[in-house]
Amino acid sequence: MGRLVEGKWETGWGSPSKGGKFERATAPFRDQISSAKDSPHPPEGGRYHLYVSYACPWAHRTLLTRALRGLEDTISVTAVSPLMGEGGWEFSAEDPDPVFGAKYLREVYLNVSPEMTGRVTVPVLFDKKTRTIVNNESREVMRILDTEFEAFAKNPVSLAPTELRNRIDEVLTAIYEPINNGVYRAGFATKQEAYDKAVLELFHALDTWEGVLAKQRFLTGNSLTECDLALFTTLLRFDLVYYGHFKCNVRRIADYPNLYGFLRDIYQRPEVKSVCRLDQIKTHYYWSQDNVNPTRIVPKGPAVDLDSPHDRARFG
């Protein structure tokens, strides 16, 4: 683990902010892909590359969007190794970096921005033609993949249809702080008060959405959208990792009938399952985050059963 400071790699976890709170840095690359005239990044098949980790919930959102829209032939992907050590995200021999032949992901960032200061994160949406990073904020990358590659998408069903877009944006924002980032705020807290607050807000939000999902199949109604993917990637990691490693152990997702059904409903779709690597998720968190787990021992359990039948089809 480490970060870039004026183009140099510095190792270590950095110190949490005052009050032992975890604060997530803002992603620095925020361009768009667009077919507007003079756009530096027009949509084009084969031109863009996604750097991801199967372990990372943020990167996973973008992989899911690519898989569900059928953009595999349009946007290429490289997944880094789940073992993120002192050097940060590292490429593996099985899935090498096709653009720069880099050993570490930070080299990709440094090629684009040699003096960069900041974190080297996944996902990264990369433009192979201009050799620049278009965007490294997962919420925006999801939207770009869904809306700007319409002409290439094998599945015509949008995950952010115009008529639902405002509601999708509201829900994405509503679940971000207490749930998606909430598990990290709990797990990376270094003071009791910071942890207590994060866990309280997390379970309050889970209880609320459990109620919503008792009445409808997905978060905005009865069709699958981006915000369902955003909740899904956190729920998928919950009983497996966050419950133990991040001390989010008030309840399991398996204890919530509707959240658990929702999780299995999405997981059991073949496009989704094809980009879920539960082994990499567990190994990554327990091995890489040695600030939380200094021995790096990866636990044997728990057994999670995501293939069991669910009752979500009751909503049609």
Ligand X SMILES: N[C@@H](CCC(=O)N[C@@H](CS)C(=O)NCC(=O)O)C(=O)O
* Residues found near ligand X in the complex (CB under 6 A): 1, 27, 56-58, 88, 119-123, 136-138
d(CA 89, CA 109): 11
Burial of 101 (0-12, 13-18, 19+ CB in 10 A): exposed
201: left (phi over 0), alpha (psi -120 to 50) or beta: alpha
**Structural contact between residues 253 and 240, judged by C-beta atoms closer than 8 angstroms:** no
Of residues 178 and 261, the one with the C-beta less far from ligand X? 178
Of residues 28 and 302, the one with the C-beta less far from ligand X? 28
Of residues 202 and 213, the one with the C-beta less far from ligand X? 202
The number of C-alpha atoms within 13 Å of 197 and in the hemisphere containing its C-beta is: 14
Supply the minimum distance, in Å, between the C-beta of residue 79 and ligand X. Answer: 12
CA angle at 142 for the pair 120 and 130, rounded to the nearest 5°: 60
Name the catalytic one among 48, 51, 54, 56.
56
Supply the minimum distance, in Å, between the C-beta of residue 33 and ligand X. Answer: 16
Of residues 213 and 275, the one with the C-beta less far from ligand X? 275
Supply the minimum distance, in Å, between the C-beta of residue 285 and ligand X. Answer: 9
Supply the minimum distance, in Å, between the C-beta of residue 113 and ligand X. Answer: 15
Of residues 137 and 228, the one with the C-beta less far from ligand X? 137
Name the catalytic one among 104, 184, 195, 242.
184
DSSP annotation of 175 reads: H
| The residue to which tokens 């994060």 are assigned | 198
Helices (H), the chain: 57-69, 105-112, 138-148, 165-175, 182-187, 192-212, 226-237, 257-267, 270-273, 278-283
Supply the minimum distance, in Å, between the C-beta of residue 143 and ligand X. Answer: 12
Identify whether 267 is a catalytic site residue.
Answer: no
Identify whether 260 is a catalytic site residue.
Answer: no
Supply the minimum distance, in Å, between the C-beta of residue 52 and ligand X. Answer: 10
Of residues 142 and 199, the one with the C-beta less far from ligand X? 142
d(CA 111, CA 123): 16
Torsion of CA 65, 66, 71, 76, to 10 degrees: 160
d(CA 247, CA 241): 9
Residue type, 75: I
Q: What residues are labeled active site?
A: 56, 184
